[in-house]
Chains A and B, each alone.
With several copies, the nearest count.
Chain A
Amino acid sequence: MIEFRDVSKRYPDGTVAVESFSFVVPSHETVVFVGSSGSGKTTLLRMVNRMVDPTSGTVLIDDQDVQQVDKVQLRRSIGYVLQGVGLLPHRTILDNVATVPMLRGVSRAHARKDALGLLDRVGLDRALATRYPSQLSGGQQQRVGVARALAADPNILLMDEPFGAVDPIVRAELQVELRRLQSELGKTTVFVTHDVDEAFKIGDRVVILSAGGRIEQADTPERIVAHPANDFVADFIGARSARRTLRVQDVDGREVVVDGDGRPVGMLAT
């Protein structure tokens, strides 16, 4: 369980990124923070592993204040997938995944063996193990990033727009994979994105943020779609837009679901 207790963050240059944010991420759940650029998502996420220290308020993990924990130890115990992946370009895929266990003192041979298993887990061919990050496609790199975050078998997983840089098709694949992983592993996960559709696809619970880390609505995806809390949320999720107002159309005897502009979205399951 991660608890944000009235946290605020003002950066040295005066920007107030987050103001009085309180929220509890229950254990084994996936919570998605979604909001437009600059709404403070990354700042909030990084408070959990102390990459950012709040100016006021506290963050607690299983009721322990993270300020009491050594930074380096804390970070080694939390899986973190960064906004820009950030693999080490001079290490092979395998060694990238094995980094954290090795930092924690696991022997190289052992760490590598475990890393191989993780590659399978995130759906990467073992043949890629000896490649370098630059020799992988964007989607493959993202998978390595996830494998690295899982390597220390952390209870908590922080993911900062992990699929931001990949194209829509690969992105859709990765989203499906992630859901599979989550159902298998059941980590407490905080996932950050500014794509509402992605949030709906991934989150057990979605938190819609406006500037300064203000919570506009926090609920399950279906309930947010069905009952947006206010105009901000309705606009943000495009509740009134053509792409969300669907209807069913008959095309040569089959029921095609089309959006407000008549563009096909899918078929009605029969």
Chain B
Amino acid sequence: MNWLSQNTDLVFDLTLTHLRLSIPPILLSLVLAIAIGYLAHRQRFARGPVLTLTGLLYAVPSLPLFIMIPVVFGTPLRSGSTMIIALTIYGVALLVRSAADAFGSVDRSVHETANAVGFSPWARFWRVELPLAGPVLLAGLRVVAVSTVSLVTVGAVIGIQSLGTLFTDGFQRGIQAEIFTGVILTILVGYLLDTACVWTGRLLMPWTRPRPRTNSRAPLHVPADVAGGAR
């Protein structure tokens, strides 16, 4: 741990940078996925194509994506914006299906009820459909959070600093402790954001809190599990 003791500042800085790069794409992809997912949910004919297309974005390897983004969006290659756009694209790719499923998971009868008691369509979306889609959305968001944190590291290959820098640097200098530190901190940051998602969910969706008196199994949503990894 010789290396770690001499580099705590660096590690701390990189962890913060890592967080700064992770959080915006997570939030952005949530917003975009809700919009696209709702559209896919409402327009039955659009559903198939939209879901396949966005899902396929996830199969685009990251290096070429990093090169394409400056061309399309005019951002400097080695900038946070490029990274954030790329990760937002992956986040949307992961989350759109979850979002469409989330709105689909809202019982038709609830929709009916909302109409019947006199909700206007706008109020129905914000006060009934969106909150009820919450749990499934959250499950998807958790996967996105963890995979985004892990994907940020790939930026190191093109010189965007993050905990991934510890991999490339440790690799060249042959310092395993440095690589391990990077891996473990990445996992921790992922865990931190995942936990943050869970707690935010509990706070915003009190009705999903585990409750006494019911001994039934937790409601099971098959994970939208297309997570993780770097390309």
Judged by CB atoms under 8 Å, the answer to whether A and B touch is yes
Interface residues of A (CB under 8 A from B): 49, 51, 72-73, 75-76, 80, 82, 84, 86-92, 99-100, 103, 132, 134-135, 148
Residue of B nearest to A80 (CB): B116
Residue of A nearest to B106 (CB): A89
B112 touches A103 (CB 8 A): no
Q: Known: A88-B128, A103-B119. Contact between A82 and B109, CB under 8 A?
A: yes
Partner of B113 from A73, A87, A90, A134 at Cβ < 8 Å: A87
Once the chains are docked, how many angstroms separate the CA of A134 from the CA of B116?
20
Main secondary structure of the interface of B (DSSP, over half): helix
Once the chains are docked, how many angstroms separate the CA of A76 from the CA of B118?
5
Q: A89-B110, A132-B211 are in contact. List 7 more A-B contacts (CB 8 A).
A: A76-B118, A82-B112, A86-B109, A88-B114, A89-B107, A103-B117, A148-B117
Interface presence of B120 (CB below 8 A)? yes
In the complex, per-residue mask of B93-125: 1 if CB is within 8 Å of any chain A CB, else 0: 000000000000001011011111111100100
Interface residues on B, range: 20 to 34
B132 touches A75 (CB 8 A): no
Interface presence of B221 (CB below 8 A)? no
A51 touches B116 (CB 8 A): yes
User: Closest CB of chain B to A153's CB: distance in Å?
Assistant: 14
Residue of B nearest to A75 (CB): B118
Once the chains are docked, how many angstroms separate the CA of A87 from the CA of B206?
16
Chain A CB within 10 Å, residue with most, of B112, B113, B123, B131: B113
A89 touches B116 (CB 8 A): no
B118 touches A72 (CB 8 A): yes
Partner of B207 from A72, A100, A132 at Cβ < 8 Å: A132
B118 touches A73 (CB 8 A): yes
Residue of A nearest to B208 (CB): A90
A-chain residues with CB within 8 Å of residue B134 when the two chains form the complex: 90
A86 touches B116 (CB 8 A): yes
B118 touches A82 (CB 8 A): no
